[in-house]
Amino acid sequence: MHSDHITGLASLLGDPSRVLTAPAVIERLSHDFYWYSPVLRPKLENKNGEVAVQPVNVDEVLAVLRFAGRHEIPVTTRGAGTGNYGQCVPLEGGIILDLSLMDKLEEITPEGVAVCQPGLRLGVLETEARKRGWELRMYPSTLAKASVGGFLAGGSGGIGSVTHGGLRDFDTVRAFEVVTMEEEPRIVLHEGASVHEILHAWGTNGVLSRIWFALAPAVEWMQATAVFDSYGQAFSFTESIATDPAWTKRLATVFEWPIPSFFSPIKKLVREGKSMALLMIAADQCDALQMAAEAAGGEVTFAGRYEGPRTQPLLSDYTWNHTTLWAMKADPIYTYLQCGFSPSECREQFRKLRESFGDEILFHIEFMKNGDGVVIPGAIPVVRFTTEERLNDMIAYCRSIGVFVANPHVNYLEEGGRFRPDNIQLMAKQKYDPRGLLNPGKMISFHKAVTQ
């Protein structure tokens, strides 16, 4: 990038030290957890931005986007950089718009809606909300680090989704303001259904600058582990908790052996060969859980109160996509898929996958509610990687037997499972970023539309 551009950017921010160019810093701010994928790793490791800017308010965001537009410089927005598919890796250099300093919680309304800046960390919001009788409806297992804006733009759901669905469901994302990359950038309010034009679009069609995020009344939670001789027993037990509305729950996870052996800090809670369930349920249902587990042939090996994100052990640290991290730590050969099994056919689907792929695929189930209110066995299976072709065969086979796959081994939106078939994210990009400067290369249908 021309040094005049760096000087120009420095003059826009109140403090020029918030324009960063040190190579090691740029390298760090250019990457996320894309290396989870052996397919994305070689493609993205050498991709870097050229300069990072750290605005502290929306006026600075407007000024940076105006400057970038005038000079046709790409802009890649970054929250905390915990994405898994290289979402915030700049493919064409340019500016990294690091929003980590825009981290104010403005208020929690009496109706339980948090109003905040995008860089606010989810863990801080959970802690603040619980002090006031509220809590996050759902959060990724990266709670401590991930930002609200990054979750909305790059995530999908997590702990809490078994009751409250994903981010796009049940009006959880009430509204946000978006800064556009038009000739003259504007701040546009999206509320109600229009949030879906921008939600999970990886910062390709606007920069979220202020967010209204609905919370749930806080619950006194208990975390528990239950172990079973077989995966079938553990699955059926957890399914019965997840699907029965009588249980108040935040997490219903199942692992088959050897996945629990990867969790070195809590490995003592399970014996060799057993399958394991991790649960968060209302504290006053703890005795009932113990009885239900015994009746299902299992044993509760740990039960302790959840006291907020700093609780130790924090069982959510082993769930959702943290499970893959533990597997990769145990053996770098492992990677993962993101699947949705059929509630009625899942046992048959498990059987077919085992028959075709043996222990190349290890079952890790996360029960979650879908947008129709049905609790389904979502899954982030651990996969032993051999070749990209074999991985693609597994994905194709899953789809052929009715298992939904959001492919985490591509870094463009359209294959990732959250791209809207009605193309409203694409239409918003055509409107808000007609020159294609926001996170270029991540919404490939936009480029197709331009070149046709």
Ligand X SMILES: Cc1cc2nc3c(=O)[nH]c(=O)nc-3n(C[C@H](O)[C@H](O)[C@H](O)COP(=O)(O)OP(=O)(O)OC[C@H]3O[C@@H](n4cnc5c(N)ncnc54)[C@H](O)[C@@H]3O)c2cc1C
Q: How far is the CB of 154 from ligand X (least distance, A)?
A: 3
Q: Where are the beta strands (DSSP E) in 284-403?
A: 299-305, 334-336, 339-340, 361-362, 364-369, 375-379, 382-384
Between residues 59 and 294, which has the closer beta carbon with respect to ligand X?
59
C-alpha gyration radius of the chain: 22
Between residues 113 and 293, which has the closer beta carbon with respect to ligand X?
113
Between residues 221 and 228, which has the closer beta carbon with respect to ligand X?
221
Residue 272 Cα distances to 12, 86, 235, 255, 290, angstroms: 59, 36, 18, 13, 21
CB 197 within 8 A of CB 424: yes
Q: How far is the CB of 291 from ligand X (least distance, A)?
A: 30
DSSP string, 244-283: -TTS-EEEEEEE-TTGGGG-GGGGGGS-TT-EEEEEEEEG
Positions touching ligand X (CB under 6 A) are: 32-33, 76-84, 87-88, 99, 118, 140-142, 146-147, 149-151, 153-158, 202-203, 207-208, 320-322, 325, 439
Between residues 64 and 292, which has the closer beta carbon with respect to ligand X?
64
DSSP string, 324-342: HHHHHHH-TTEEE--EE--
Between residues 180 and 225, which has the closer beta carbon with respect to ligand X?
180
Measured between alpha carbons, how far is 285 from 192 in angstroms, rounded to an integer? 35
The Cβ-side half-sphere exposure at 427, using a 13 Å CA radius, reads: 8
Tokens 């990009």 -> residue: 429
Q: How far is the CB of 352 from ligand X (least distance, A)?
A: 26
Measured between alpha carbons, how far is 441 from 445 in angstroms, rounded to an integer? 9
Between residues 87 and 349, which has the closer beta carbon with respect to ligand X?
87
Between residues 325 and 403, which has the closer beta carbon with respect to ligand X?
325
Per-residue tokens: 225:
């582990």
Taking alpha carbons only, the member of 211, 198, 227 closest to residue 303 is 227
Q: How far is the CB of 320 from ligand X (least distance, A)?
A: 3
Q: How far is the CB of 371 from ligand X (least distance, A)?
A: 15
Q: Helices 444-451 and 424-432: crossing angle, nearest 10°? A: 60
Residue of minimal CB distance from ligand X? 150
Measured between alpha carbons, how far is 12 from 60 in angstroms, rounded to an integer? 7
Q: How many CB atoms lie within 10 A of CB 404?
A: 15
Q: How far is the CB of 204 from ligand X (least distance, A)?
A: 7
Q: How far is the CB of 202 from ligand X (least distance, A)?
A: 3
Per-residue tokens: 163:
């009751």
Q: How far is the CB of 96 from ligand X (least distance, A)?
A: 9
Between residues 182 and 229, which has the closer beta carbon with respect to ligand X?
182
Q: To 5 degrees, how large is the angle CA 72–CA 73–CA 76?
A: 135
Beta partners for 379? 339, 365
Tokens 């029960």 -> residue: 367
Helix, strand, coil proportions of the chain in percent (round to 5)? 35, 25, 40
Q: How far is the CB of 38 from ligand X (least distance, A)?
A: 15
Q: How far is the CB of 156 from ligand X (least distance, A)?
A: 4
Tokens 């582990």 -> residue: 225
Between residues 228 and 363, which has the closer beta carbon with respect to ligand X?
363
Between residues 233 and 411, which has the closer beta carbon with respect to ligand X?
411
Between residues 102 and 241, which has the closer beta carbon with respect to ligand X?
102
Q: How far is the CB of 273 from ligand X (least distance, A)?
A: 26
